[in-house]
A and B are shown apart, each in its own frame.
Chain A
Amino acid sequence: MAQDIEESRKLTYPLDPTSYKILKQIGNGVSATVFKAACLPMDSLVVAIKAIDLERLRANLDDVRREAKAMTLLSHPNILKAYCSFTVDQHLWVVMPFMSAGSLHSIISSSFPDGLSEPSIAIVLKETLNALLYLHDQGHLHRDIKAGNILVDSDGSVKLADFGVSASIYEPNSSQCSSFSSSSSLRFNDLAGTPYWMAPEVIHSHVGYSFKADIWSFGITALELAHGRPPLSHLPPWKSLFMRITNRLRLSDFEKIRTGKNKKFSKNFRDMVASCLSTDPYRRPTADKLLKHPFFKNCRSTDFLVKNVLQGLPTVEERYRENLICLRSQSKTDDNDDGDDGQTEAVVKHRRISGWNFNEQVLELEPVFPIDGSGPPTPTKEDNNAKIIQNKAAPSLLVPEFCFRDETRLDVGINENEKVEEVIKEDCGIREKNDLGTEMAEEGRVTSVEEQETGVTNTPVEGVMVDIAPLVPKLRELLESLEFEKHAVSEIIACISGGEHVEMNREEEFQEKISQLNLQLEQERRKSSLLETELESLRCTESHDM
């Protein structure tokens, strides 16, 4: 098998742009565009070309080199490899196989908004696990497993793509040794990946992390395939991070599977996902163990995907075009979301657009960060929390969202500020409400919680267009009604779960979290001061030695 692939590598793809005819654009991100192209000297074989604008890319060139190297040296049927890569002026062209059905993210958003059926999920996940097993065996971490990075070909074959943030445990970190390596070289202790799929220990990046982080993201991807979107994706990314750090929502994410919509999931599936989402990385299974999980036992062949998922699917090009139109109409109502401004780029950078992954959910729900801006009121509790996030999670990811946004946005932030505490509390509650949202609606007792919730998160964004001040009373009203609904919802939950799920007083719980986080912060500070002293003494001895 590996032999075959090696054989196919012998076909050398031309290294000049004139040998390729660009057919259509099929995806784009801030620093990369993906084209469908024909390789002329090879009988116009259809390929995908990812053109990365090195000038706009924020990663350093060493990272680009690592990615290119990984894509050349990895060789597995479930891993998208690069045929070749070469530079065309300031662009790096990476020539890859054309995966005609596109990414699962794109498939789901175009045709399966409520997620895939379980047999289809099993196939996709099993193929992905094969890739993961190989990667881990090779000492590679993928670090960005998600539906957007899982590609499907017309024959149903599934490949894992995008090694933009991958890392190898064998690759010595040369940039650390060489003098001032100036840029964001992504190492194990750096924050990499996309917030929703990120494992807690990646967010707590000070502990360092390992292969088990990929297993976490794999579990989140399973949820994504099952529900049509990752958990917490209705929240802006930084809030999603925050939620994850406070350890609070993990169980309820899983709960969602159990109680979720009209869909029933097998016990095997629930069990498999739960094992991946274990808070303790050591308790998560290895890729090898996961493959032996009963969920994958009677997994069908990839033909099943062709018949059940791929049939009647719009082409990648069509989907891309649709998405563009969609995005355009969005940007008409909200030009702040225009992909061209700096903060958007910063977020996108971490997503490492794979080209097929053009749905920027992250960008639709832009965070408004309360503590930024002139004259915020006395630090509130979640100010502290927010700072903790800022410290723990690499600033590179979070900060751009907080500062240097345009002023209108800032104003909104300040207006929001008064109520921010509650808003955050609300958000914590949203999870539960959301889980039960559909059920409630069916019962006709609560009117569309989700709608209102989106209202809250989106208001600031819309507020840019409208005069902001009049919104404040409305928002307060909204909050009150949410408070009321929350109460109703928790009662229902209590009813359904027979009292198991009694909600703790939110205020108390919050206090507790905060004191925990403060404690952690204190510990970190102590650690860092210890380290500093140590460093100082080392310096001293060194200078003595010299």
Chain B
Amino acid sequence: MKGLFKSKPRTPAETVRLTRELLIYADINSNSREAKREEKMSELSKLIRELKSILYGSSEAEPVSEACSQLTQEFFRENTLRLLIICLPKLNLEARKDATQVVANLQRQQVHSKLIASDYLEANKDLMDILVSGYENTDLALHYGAMLRECIRHQCIARYVLESDHMKKFFDYIQLPNFDIASDASATFKELLTRHKSTVAEFLSKNYEWFFAEYNSKLLQSQNYITKRQAVKLLGDMLLDRANSAVMMRYVSSKDNLVILMTLLKDRSKNIQMEAFHVFKLFAANQNKPADVVCILAANKEKLIRFFRDFTVEKGRKTFFFGSFSVKDEQFEADKAQVVKEITVLEDRT
């Protein structure tokens, strides 16, 4: 960063060019002489840090938008992003983190009020394949994961990932034993399925069959506490989104789905129960319940009503979430009353 204030300051574009040269070097010469290579790699790390401080500013200086836009233009003028992603495994931990932050920042940089990162990625969608497969590598997962989450801020990129075969892999990634990686993958999964409403709605309706089959069996019926908890929460977020109303109607018209949610309602985790309720209420509120759904609800009428009588927000929790959350509590009670009302009028037709 100090380099900026030296007698011959490099322009941001020059910094990018130098970085690119060294990346090319790092990419090709993985076996060249140790000492020389080490020197180049440490220079590369410094340059990446310099890029970062141009983009983010430092404790002494705020970022300068003109410098940022120069940097961004030069960065995407050639294939720097690809090189950086490919060479990431060759960088040390600090440089990897810096590189990740640089990539993240670049996704938001506007040049002439255009996100040029988006255009670049659209033409280089295969980079997403590298980033997604990063979840299979413990050392790279968190870096590639963070980059990926930034890239899918662009709708076209999110669509690409959603429609790719990678989507299927996420069901396994989010259950990896390593918590850091699994939770990073779930964050990306959630982002993919909630961020761009119209794209998500389109994806869910086109891929309804396999997606929810996987979702139900691998996630909602998982033995793993955290998988279940996150999955039922995300399911609620997806189904309650207005953009997904068609998908929601389809989901709550299925008897099998209802059975799964009722099982979750009885889960021994209060958090899971709560989240399950927010999905279950949709089954009950559906004004065109299919006969088999009615049948199940009616058959369990007494049990459900008894269950809801004692089903409340935990006392401690209630007090803790003061303010905005007391409204939530009220909403919850209202929802519950509505559900009970809906169920009460059902008649067991069997």
Contacts and interface: CB of A to CB of B under 8 A. Distances in A.
Contact of A3 (B92, B138, B315): B92
A9 to B, nearest CB: 8
Contacts of A62: 187
A341 B316 contact: yes
B320 interface: yes
B104 A87 contact: no
B37 interface: no
B59 A211 contact: yes
A404 B101 CA distance: 44
Interface string B305-321: 00000000011111111
A399 B321 CA distance: 9
Contact of A87 (B149, B179, B269): B179
Contact residue range for chain A? Answer: 35 or more
A396 B322 contact: yes
Nearest to A210: B59
Contacts of A65: 180, 183-184, 186-187
B320 to A, nearest CB: 5
A92 to B, nearest CB: 6
B179 A92 contact: yes
Interface in B313-345: 314-323, 328
A138 interface: yes
Contact of A84 (B101, B178, B186, B321): B178
A2 interface: yes
B320 A400 contact: yes
Interface string B242-268: 000000000000000000000000000
Interface string B80-115: 000000000000111001000100100000000000
Contacts of A395: 322-323
B320 A177 contact: no
A87 B187 contact: no
Contacts of B315: 342, 404
B180 A404 contact: no
B92 A2 contact: yes
Given A87-B226, A172-B150, A69 B92 contact: no
B320 A342 contact: yes
A404 B191 contact: no
Contacts of B241: 179
Contacts, number: 125
Contacts of B322: 395-396, 399-400, 403
Contacts of A138: 97
B271 interface: yes
A86 B59 contact: no
B107 to A, nearest CB: 9
B224 interface: yes
A342 B224 contact: no
A139 B56 contact: yes
B46 interface: no
Interface string A61-87: 110110011001101000000001111
B176 to A, nearest CB: 9
A311 interface: no
B194 interface: yes
Interface residues of B, number: 45
Contact of A346 (B101, B179, B316, B328): B316
B319 A343 contact: yes
A55 B269 contact: yes
Given A61-B230, A68-B183, A178-B195, A286 B59 contact: yes
B59 A177 contact: no
B292 to A, nearest CB: 31
A234 interface: no
A345 interface: yes
A352 to B, nearest CB: 14
B122 interface: no
B296 to A, nearest CB: 28
Given A55-B271, A58-B317, A61-B229, A2 B179 contact: no
Contacts of B271: 55
A345 B316 contact: yes
Interface in A326-366: 341-343, 345-346, 349
B74 interface: no
Interface string A382-413: 00000000000001100110011000000000
A400 B319 contact: yes
B208 interface: no
A346 B320 contact: yes
Interface in A130-148: 136, 138-139
A90 interface: yes
Contacts of B180: 65, 68-69, 72, 84-85
Contacts of B187: 62, 65, 174
A243 interface: no
B214 to A, nearest CB: 21
Nearest to A62: B187
Contacts of A87: 179, 224-226
A404 B59 CA distance: 44
Interface in B170-217: 177-180, 183-184, 186-187, 190-191, 194-195
Contacts of B316: 341-343, 345-346, 400
Interface string A174-195: 1001111011100000000000
A396 B56 contact: no
Nearest to A342: B316
A451 interface: no
B323 A15 contact: no
Given A2-B94, A73-B97, A170 B142 contact: no
Contacts of B101: 139, 170
Residue among B101, B237, B241, B320 with the most chain A CB within 10 A? B320
B17 interface: no
Contacts of A345: 316, 320
B240 to A, nearest CB: 8
A177 to B, nearest CB: 7
Nearest to A82: B180
Contacts of B226: 54, 61, 87, 90, 92
A61 B183 contact: yes
B237 A179 contact: yes
Contact of B142 (A73, A174, A286, A399): A73
A6 interface: yes
18 contacts: A2-B94, A16-B177, A61-B226, A69-B142, A72-B142, A73-B93, A84-B180, A85-B180, A87-B226, A90-B225, A92-B179, A138-B97, A169-B56, A342-B315, A346-B320, A399-B320, A400-B320, A404-B318
Interface of B: 56, 59, 92-94, 97, 101, 104, 138, 142, 149-150, 177-180, 183-184, 186-187, 190-191, 194-195, 224-226, 229-230, 237, 241, 269-271, 314-323, 328
Sorted nearest first, the 4 A-B pairs with minimum C-beta distance are: A342-B316, A399-B322, A65-B183, A15-B177
